[in-house]
Structure formats: structure tokens, C-alpha cells
Homo-oligomer: A and B are copies of this chain.
Amino acid sequence: MKQIGIGLAGFGTVGMGVFRHLSRNRNLLSQRLGFELWVRRIAVLDPNKSRSVDTSAQPVTGNWEDLIVDPGVQIIVELMGGIEEPLRLITRAIEAGKTVVTGNKALLAKHGKELFDLATAKQVPIFFEAAVAGGIPIIKAVRESFIGNHIKSVHGIINGTTNYILTRMTEAGLDYAHALGEAQAQGYAESDPTLDVNGWDAAHKAIILASLAYGTWICPSKVFVEGIEKVTARDIGFAKMLGYRIKLLGIIKADDDGSRSIEVRVHPTLIPEKHVLASVNGVFNALCVNGDVVGETLFYGRGAGQDPTASAVIADLAEAAHALDSKRRDFGFMPHGLYGDCKPLDEILCQYYLRIPVDDKPGVLAQVAGVLGALNIGISSMIQPESDGQSAELILMLHDATHAQVREAIARITALPSVEGAPTLLRVEHFTP
């Protein structure tokens, strides 16, 4: 059976998982694929470190250049982490004509354009199923299965750490700090959880999805990103009373009008409790894709971890092997010039949840409602919980408004004498079936 030579760069959790499962399911995979996927060399930071996996059949090197110069290595798998070093490795691999498989979302979000331009020029495919939502085959689905669809929107729970934290806050009433501590104790959050909780891990994935759906690499500075650090158990409770759950969503959308302008944003979002996404709990990920032909679809599974991510990398290796064999070049699945630019935040239209700390005095609601009315923002529902007699809270659900309108409303409301502090603003998404 024909062998395809693999150079594995990075032998941490995911790299080791790929190696282990390639060996464990070797027969099954070879029979299905018609090729044998053979790891020829492994590049690691420290070749002398002792490891739990037997790599006696593979030379282990401390220098990834050894993978590039090995003529038997046809596919380079980059699972090193970081940005600058993988960028150098992948650039070298493409220049050397080697197929690339990577799961590096931060790298692609930042340097996707230059890497894919180079790959196109050199006719070398890059596969990256593992970069978004671990074992869920969302890259393949958007790029291949929905190729006949204008993608109206993708709403994704694409960060397991924050979904775990929000789930625990919702189910056990924990506050943010406690839920984060629990996630760290369980190994679901890193000791420095910044990139997860501030929304940027999800933003990298949203950028990659947007590039697939709309054929353009969005500049990270154009993406509106808000993390979950300020979400309170109190807001989760009010959202529940109103029939919503709060999830950190990565959202991409494109208008189906002439402009076809794009939205890419990540923020804590109120979604109707009856929607399937609302019941995606714990570390699970899920993506709701709405195509103009297929309608609403949902993909659910584990978005991180050794095994699910290894499953995605192995699928890419199989695809890469086929591509090498047939000279098929499917990385070109990207339309250009058919979609517009990223919509400025101020023009983005959505619905909102607003919690306003106010004095418990007559007339306050009239003042707040007056501000909203003057700015032409409709109120769809309202709660005023029983107060302690001195200060109170108003919780308002607002109809569609632009960010610019709502920004102005918040400035005016905050300035009202009966308002005790800055209101809490969260965004709301409804789904059209």
C-alpha cells in the first residue's frame, strides 16, 4: 500500500493524540483511505524529554527544518502553538511544496491572507479543520457541503471554557470568579485564561469561518469582541426570567442585499431558551449555520481536547493524502468580490438587554422611556424586580437598534439624575427558522 510521509511538528497534547490514534486505528484508516499515513519524523522543543508514547520508530528532532528537508515528508502537520515560529515553519513548508495541516487558529486569523496567497501561488493546499471547534467538521461543512448556499449567518458556541463557566453560573448560580476557579480546577481553563474569557479565541475562529463563508480575511481590528468577564449571575437570572440563556457567541452574518456587507462579532448573547443552542452546555461547542438553500442546521460536539482535535487532524491528513494523489486542489473554495466589507460596529443592528440601576422614586421609568423614545428605540418587554425601597433596577428588552443609537441612549440614560450608575448592556439574538 502506498505510504504518505508525515512530518509532525509539535508533540504536546494534540500532537501526541494524533500520533496515538493514527497508530491505534491504522488498519481501519488504511483500508478506508487506500494509503498508509506514516509519521516519518517528529519535531519537538526538547528531544531529550521522556514521553509516554513510544516513538522509537520515528526520529525525533529539535529542529523542524529537518522535516522540511526530508524528501519523504509530503505533509507537514503544525501543532506547535504560538504564532511566529509556526508562521516560519508553514511558510517554509509551502515554499518547499509540502502540503500543510494546522490547527492554529490564532495564526490563521492573523496571517491567513499571506499564507493562503502564498499557498495559492505555490499550488500547495493548507488544511485546517482542527482550527475551529475541534472534532466538529464545520470547516468541511461550510466549504464543501454548503457550497451551493449563500451563508446567511453562523452563530457559534466556539469556546468550551467560557461555555463551561456560563453553564455553571446558570445551573449552580455561581458568580464569575467561582465558576472560573472551578473550570481551572477541572482543567477546562488554563491558569492564564485571558484569551478564552476575553473572547479572542472565539474571535479567531469567527474570522476563519467568515473567510470561508465570504471569501475574505477580516482584519481582527474590525471584529467587535466582548468577553464574559463582566457577565453576572444577576444578569443570567434576569435573562432566565425573560426566557433566555446567556452564551458567548461568535456571530458572522452577511446581508442578502446588494451590499452584502459582513458582520463578524463575538459577545455574550441572550438567546431564546427554546433554541437548540441554548441547551448546549458544559465544554461542548455547537454551530448553527443558516444557508439560503439548506435553511437552519446545527453541528454539535467537543470543541477541544486531545481526542476530538486529533480526529479533525486525521481527517485533514486523509484529505491531504487524497489531494496529493489526485493533484486535486480544493483550497480554492473561496469566492472573491461577491461580498462587501465588514460593517462598522455603529451600523450593526440588533436587539438588546439593558439593566439600569435607578433610584426607587416615581418618574424614573418615564425618564428612561423618554430617552429611548426620543432616539426611536422600541421597548419589547420590561421587568422591575421588587426593590429594597432605596435603589431599584429596570431591566429592559429593546427592539432592533443600531449600536450607534444604543450608545447614545446609554450616554443619555447614565446622565439622568435618578440613574445610579452605568447600565449593563447585552446583545440579544433571535433565530429565523
Q: Please, how many angstroms separate the alpha-carbon atoms of A140 and B142 in the complex? A: 12
Please indicate the chain B residues that have their CB under 8 angstroms from the CB of A310 in the complex: 148, 293
Check A318/B147 contact, CB under 8 A, given A294-B308, A295-B135, A311-B294.
yes
Out of B145, B149, B276, name the residue touching A276 (CB < 8 Å).
B276
Q: A residues 1-53 with Cβ under 8 Å of B?
A: 21-22, 25, 27-29, 31-34
- A336 sits at the interface (CB 8 A): yes
- Proximity string of chain A (146-157) to chain B, C-beta cutoff 8 Å, 1 when within and 0 when not: 111110000000
The reply to whether B300 and A294 form a contact with Cβ atoms under 8 Å apart is no
Q: A residues 307-328 with Cβ under 8 Å of B?
A: 307-308, 310-312, 314-315, 317-319, 322, 325-328
Out of B135, B141, B296, name the residue touching A294 (CB < 8 Å).
B135
Q: Please, how many angstroms separate the alpha-carbon atoms of A329 and B279 in the complex? A: 40
Q: Please, how many angstroms separate the alpha-carbon atoms of A291 and B136 in the complex? A: 12
- A144 sits at the interface (CB 8 A): yes
Check A298/B297 contact, CB under 8 A, given A279-B276, A330-B322.
no
The reply to whether A136 and B308 form a contact with Cβ atoms under 8 Å apart is no
Can you identify 30 A-B contacts, CB atoms within 8 angstroms?
A25-B148, A25-B150, A31-B336, A33-B333, A135-B291, A135-B293, A135-B295, A135-B297, A136-B297, A137-B144, A137-B146, A144-B318, A146-B311, A147-B315, A276-B276, A279-B279, A291-B311, A294-B302, A294-B307, A294-B311, A295-B308, A297-B300, A297-B301, A297-B302, A298-B299, A299-B299, A322-B328, A326-B327, A326-B328, A326-B329
Interfacial residues, chain A to chain B (CB-CB below 8 A): 21-22, 25, 27-29, 31-34, 129, 135-137, 140-141, 144-150, 215, 276, 279-280, 286, 291-302, 307-308, 310-312, 314-315, 317-319, 322, 325-330, 332-338
